[in-house]
Amino acid sequence: MNIFPPNMLRRLQNLEDLQIRNCNSVEEVFEVRQANVDEIYEKGSTQSKFLNLVSPLKLKHVWTSNLEAISTFQNLRQVEIFKCKTLKSLFPISVTKSLEQLESLCINDCGLMEEIVALEEELEIATKFVFPRITSLSLQLLPGLKYFYLGKHTSEWPSLKILTIHKCNKVRIVASNELSFPNTYGLDHHVPVQQPLFLIQKTDASTSEAEEKNGVDNDSKED
């Protein structure tokens, strides 16, 4: 039911490329519980750079969601997720904050995915996500996707050059730099609240110039 049970990650520190295909009983990839976080830290971060998941039909979690701050996956450079039909979110917030080396993220045909980063708790202050090296972000065939992260947050993507959003029918507003957060907690779930997929924080006055230079490919955006 899981690929890496507790205490196994510390034995695989040199693993760089992980591919999981058509493993129909797998529900979780990395079972990193608080009990074995200290053991992983002693060995340092894993060398995992490439993660590719294709058609694990019962997958519920890639990482355990109840983690405290952890940076064991900070070397990840490329993540590709295809046809994970039962996956509702990809990253726990604790893993997301350590993805400083991530260069490419592709999520394709995951019908139940609602958010990319799981909301673990309702924080009063906004969380800031920074992805300094991501150049390509592709979100395709995600009919349930509504949010990048439901909680209060901003994000920075200074190196992003290619953005593809295709058949994500619940995404009506792709990006906004409006740094206000409607208080949706406690509202009836049937109340429609229009939110952008990304809340972007511009870092300086040269951002617009950089955007023109780099360009953003979102021609495949479909409502």
C-alpha 188: how far from its chain's center? 26
- CA dihedral sign of residues 5, 10, 12, 14: positive
Gap between the Cα atoms of 180 and 153, Å rounded: 9
User: Strands, E, within the chain: which ranges?
Assistant: 2-4, 17-21, 28-30, 50-54, 61-63, 78-82, 104-108, 127-130, 136-140, 153-156, 162-166, 173-176, 196-199
Fill in the amino acid letter for 160: L
The tokens for 177 are 């730099």
pLDDT tens column, 51-64: 999 998 889 888 87
Gap between the Cα atoms of 211 and 217, Å rounded: 11
pLDDT for res 108: 97
As a whole number, mean pLDDT of residues 156-171 equals 93
The tokens for 61 are 């979690």
User: Would you call 10 helix, strand, or coil by DSSP?
Assistant: helix
Residue 98: pLDDT band (50, 70, 90) is confident
Gap between the Cα atoms of 74 and 98, Å rounded: 5
User: Would you call 147 helix, strand, or coil by DSSP?
Assistant: strand
Provide the mean pLDDT of the chain.
77
pLDDT tens column, 22-48: 998 888 888 766 554 555 544 455 677
Share of the chain above pLDDT 70, in %: 68
Residue whose C-alpha is closest to residue 78's, from 160, 12, 133, 155: 133
User: Strands, E, within 46-170: which ranges?
Assistant: 50-54, 61-63, 78-82, 104-108, 127-130, 136-140, 153-156, 162-166
- CA dihedral sign of residues 194, 200, 204, 209: negative
- Name beta bridge partners: 200: 155
Q: Please give the residue that has the higher pLDDT: either 81 or 69.
A: 81
Residue 216: pLDDT band (50, 70, 90) is very low
Gap between the Cα atoms of 74 and 195, Å rounded: 29
Residue boundaries of the structural domains of the chain: 2-214
Name the phi and psi angles at 197, rounded to 5. Answer: -65, -40
The pTM is what?
0.77
